Amino acid sequence: MSKDSVQLLVGKPDQVDLNELANINYETWGYKLKNEYMSDLEIEFEDGKLNGVRQK
């Protein structure tokens, strides 16, 4: 699933982390649902495609 599709479903992220390793772009979006200081939901992308979802 592309980043645009995820943003349409979930909305704009509260936090975005970008990393590049060996010409592969990694992006992590964080959503603050209950805790205002740390992300409760993290969505991970690899080269613009959904790679994983983690809820804390």
54 closest CA partner among 37, 31, 21: 31
The band of 56, judged by pLDDT with boundaries at 50, 70 and 90, is confident
The DSSP symbol for 6 reads H
The band of 5, judged by pLDDT with boundaries at 50, 70 and 90, is very high
pTM greater than the 0.75 cutoff? yes
Q: What is the mean pLDDT of residues 16-40?
A: 95
The band of 36, judged by pLDDT with boundaries at 50, 70 and 90, is confident
How many folded domains does the chain comprise?
A: 1
Q: Which residues form the domain of 35?
A: 3-55
Q: Which pair of structure tokens corresponds to residue 5? A: 């599709």
